[in-house]
Amino acid sequence: MIRTVITIDGMACAMCEAHVQDAIREHFSVKKVKASHTKGTAEVISEEPLKEEALRAALDPTGYRVLAVEAAEERKKGFSLFRK
């Protein structure tokens, strides 16, 4: 899985977060997306990397501006069961 953090300018409220999340879901196949207007970011979990140019193209028409995109591979942390 790929975890992408997008820094976004222009979000001011919870409705802005919803608009950003909807735009990302509409243009990309994602597992999870969560935007935060207080942090000015959207965090996306996807199987494939998201292209910065495509993110800009998806969000610019909505009035929100992509300032930065950071992506990293995310690995699930495993756990083990111990028996006594």
At 29, is the secondary structure helix, strand, or coil? coil
Q: Quick one: pLDDT at residue 11?
A: 96
In 3D space, the residue among 2, 58, 13, 61 whose CA is nearest the CA of residue 40 turns out to be 13
Task: Give domain status of residue 79, yes or no.
Answer: no
Q: Is 6 exposed, middle or buried (0-12, 13-18, 19+ CB in 10 A)?
A: buried
Total domains in the fold of the chain: 1
Q: What is the mean pLDDT of residues 46-61?
A: 94
Name the pTM for this structure.
0.84
Give the residue-averaged pLDDT of 71-75.
85
Per-residue pLDDT, averaged over 7-18, amounts to 96
CATH of the domain at 37: 3.30.70.100
Residue where the block lists tokens 């820094």: 7
Query: Does position 77 have pLDDT exceeding 90, yes or no?
Result: no
Q: How far apart are the first and last CA of the chain?
A: 34
Q: Considering the domain boundaries, does residue 78 fall inside one?
A: no
Average pLDDT taken over every residue of the chain: 90
Do the domain assignments include residue 22? yes
Q: Which domain holds residue 33?
A: 2-73
Pairing of strands 2-9, 41-46: antiparallel
Confidence of residue 64 (pLDDT cuts 50, 70, 90): very high
83 belongs to a structural domain: no
Q: What is the pLDDT of residue 74?
A: 78
Bigger pLDDT: 4 vs 84: 4
In a domain? residue 80: no
